[in-house]
Homo-oligomer: A and B are copies of this chain.
Amino acid sequence: MLRRLFERDAGSEVEIPTGAPLTDADLKVGLLREIDLFTGLSLDELREISRTLPMTTCQIGGLITSPDEEDERLYIVKRGRVRLYRLTPDGKQLTLDILDKGRIVGRMSWLGQELNEVYAEAIEDAVVCSFTPSELRRLIDRFPGIGLNIIRYLSDRLAASEREREVMAFRSVEQRLAARLMELAERFGQPSGDGVAIDARLTQQELADMIGTSRETLAMTISSLRERGVLEMQNQRVVIHDVEGLRGLSGA
């Protein structure tokens, strides 16, 4: 079961070029501006920050960070999507979150033990930039606004995580699936011919990992929803036909 970790193309580990920047400095500033973490900072400040931040790319399937990693480092996603997941001792996965632009992942002991024990895998080609703990600390001392933004970010993640705990504790697979698809539709939904399409390739195994069930049970649940005309899933794309119906099934 452990091999699933490596099932996608390997050899795409992140290299971290601490020296020369990969890209034009102004492009970097541009990317920084789009990130919520840095709202409220002036252009000059952004420029100053961008000088110290190495940017790295990571191909689809590559691991950005894992519990084996020794370096304490914090990554900010600039492009692409990153899947955060935990691995149980017996090899099952639980996907915690899908991160896109502006969201944070990493482990830093001084920053609590956040995201220890957590893997981060690029599910699209991704660009991330990274800090060391001391860099971040210096940044926050100079620009307290960044501290506030991180607090807001962590609070959001915490609220979502605790909502998830309640869902996992008391709700059936169908309800959990409905709730998760609603969330994905809100974040990645595209209006399509007949309803809302979720703009992400998701195998049934991946969906199952998100709601903590088995692939087989998930397939049965999808079938049932398809028969009732609520949604369709083909070619690893989910299309929701009856959004309101799905919301009702989610039990919220």
Q: What residues of chain A have their CB less than 8 Å away from a CB belonging to chain B?
A: 86, 88-89, 92, 94, 96, 108, 110-118, 137, 140-141, 144, 147-148, 150-159, 161-166, 168-170, 212, 251-252
Contacts and interface: CB of A to CB of B under 8 A. Distances in A.
Contacts of A108: 155
Nearest to A92: B170
Given A94-B165, A112-B159, A165-B165, 7 more contacts: A86-B166, A110-B152, A118-B162, A140-B148, A144-B147, A168-B168, A169-B212
Contact of A162 (B86, B152, B155): B86
A111 B155 contact: yes
B112 A166 contact: no
Given A140-B147, A152-B110, A212-B169, A159 B88 contact: no
B113 A159 contact: yes
Nearest to A115: B159
A147 B146 CA distance: 10
A165 B164 contact: yes
Nearest to A211: B169
Contacts of A150: 151
Contacts of A114: 155-156, 158-159
A223 B147 CA distance: 49
Given A111-B152, A152-B110, A88 B144 contact: no
A83 to B, nearest CB: 14
Contacts of A169: 94, 168, 212
Contact of A112 (B118, B156, B170): B156
Contact of A140 (B86, B144, B154, B165): B144
A137 B145 CA distance: 10
A88 B251 CA distance: 10
Contacts of A110: 152
A164 to B, nearest CB: 6
